[in-house]
């Protein structure tokens, strides 16, 4: 019952108002004295509390010749009134916050440091669900599987392109990365990138390795990483198309570029 009182307090009712309302629901048509007795509200306060509930429109007051009696409106009426009020407040909150966020975004590009796996995934799902034209991805199977449902749903409305590693039965519009010496190394770095409409992006390491990611609407970040995805897709397609054995050549060239042995 205390949890219900706390919820009512969050909706703007005082503790005494919450206790009085709950007592009224359980008692029906009763006097202020009875509500004071059942709720534990001091008799010196009970009339003010009940009159406040009457003014808020959730309790009715009947004045008889001998006693004044009070009765809670049906619970369904109270719930509908609360839902309507909350919806109005939510709409105001949503409109204001979005307006402030949009104003901030217009001022300068944003780069946010995100932490905690579920927060990162929720951010990705939100952006993917808001896509209007296209989604570009680069990711390994671990993150892909966590985002598979929302990606498949988004693919019904917008274009989804990119590349995945170790993903089985992925979206047909997304390239599957070939297995290479570097991708199969136990120490291979696993990254993910999600770019939505070339205006919003989240990227970071595998969430299994480290629950860390970055969000940005900075066009420079987005252009660089979208180009990274495209070049990965392009090299993958060229190797598949070539009649020559390019894999060893790519391996040698990569090692030389990064000054690595292999």
Q: Which of 198, 205, 206, 255 is nearest to 230 (CA)?
A: 198
Q: Any residues with CB less than 8 A from the CB of 187 and at least 6 apart, and which?
A: none
pLDDT at 258: 66
- Which domains occur in the chain, in start order? 2-74 (1.10.10.10), 108-257 (3.30.870.10)
SS3 label, residue 261: coil
If one compares 28 and 165, the residue with the highest pLDDT of the two is 165
Please give the Cα distance from 229 to 217 (Å, whole number).
17
SS3 label, residue 60: strand
User: Is residue 128's pLDDT more than 50?
Assistant: yes
pLDDT at 81: 78
Over residues 163-167, mean pLDDT: 93
What is the pairing mode between strands 212-216 and 200-205? antiparallel
- pTM of the predicted protein model: 0.56
pLDDT at 248: 74
User: Is residue 47's pLDDT more than 80?
Assistant: yes
pLDDT at 262: 47
User: Is residue 216's pLDDT more than 90?
Assistant: yes
The CA–CA distances, whole Å, from 201 to 78, 116, 196, 214 equal 43, 17, 6, 8
SS3 label, residue 31: strand
pLDDT at 123: 93
Q: Any residues with CB less than 8 A from the CB of 54 and at least 6 apart, and which?
A: 60, 61, 70
| Average predicted confidence (pLDDT) for the chain | 85
pLDDT at 54: 85
User: Is residue 237's pLDDT more than 90?
Assistant: no
């Amino acid at each position: 019952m205390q949890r219900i009182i706390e919820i009512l307090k969050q909706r703007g009712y005082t503790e005494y108002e919450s206790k009085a309302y709950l007592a009224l629901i359980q008692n029906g048509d009763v006097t202020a004295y009875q509500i004071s007795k059942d709720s534990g509200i001091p008799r010196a306060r009970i009339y003010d509390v009940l009159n406040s509930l009457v003014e808020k429109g959730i309790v009715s007051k009947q004045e008889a010749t001998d006693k004044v009696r009070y009765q809670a409106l049906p619970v369904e009426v109270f719930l509908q009134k609360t839902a309507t009020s909350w919806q109005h407040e939510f709409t105001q909150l949503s409109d204001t916050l979005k307006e402030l966020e949009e104003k901030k975004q217009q001022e300068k590009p944003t780069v946010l440091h995100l932490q905690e796996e579920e927060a990162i995934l929720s951010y990705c799902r939100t952006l993917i669900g808001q896509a209007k034209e296209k989604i570009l991805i680069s990711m390994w199977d671990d993150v892909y599987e966590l985002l598979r449902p929302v990606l498949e749903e988004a693919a019904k409305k917008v274009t989804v392109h990119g590349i995945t590693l170790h993903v089985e039965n992925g979206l047909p519009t997304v390239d599957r990365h070939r297995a290479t010496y570097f991708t199969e190394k136990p120490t291979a770095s696993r990254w993910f990138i999600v770019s939505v409409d070339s205006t919003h992006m989240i990227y970071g390491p595998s969430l299994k390795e480290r629950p860390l990611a970055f969000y940005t609407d900075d066009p420079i970040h987005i252009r660089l990483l979208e180009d990274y995805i495209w070049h990965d897709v392009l090299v993958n397609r060229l190797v598949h198309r070539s009649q020559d054995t390019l894999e060893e050549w790519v391996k040698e060239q990569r090692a030389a570029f990064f000054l690595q042995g292999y």
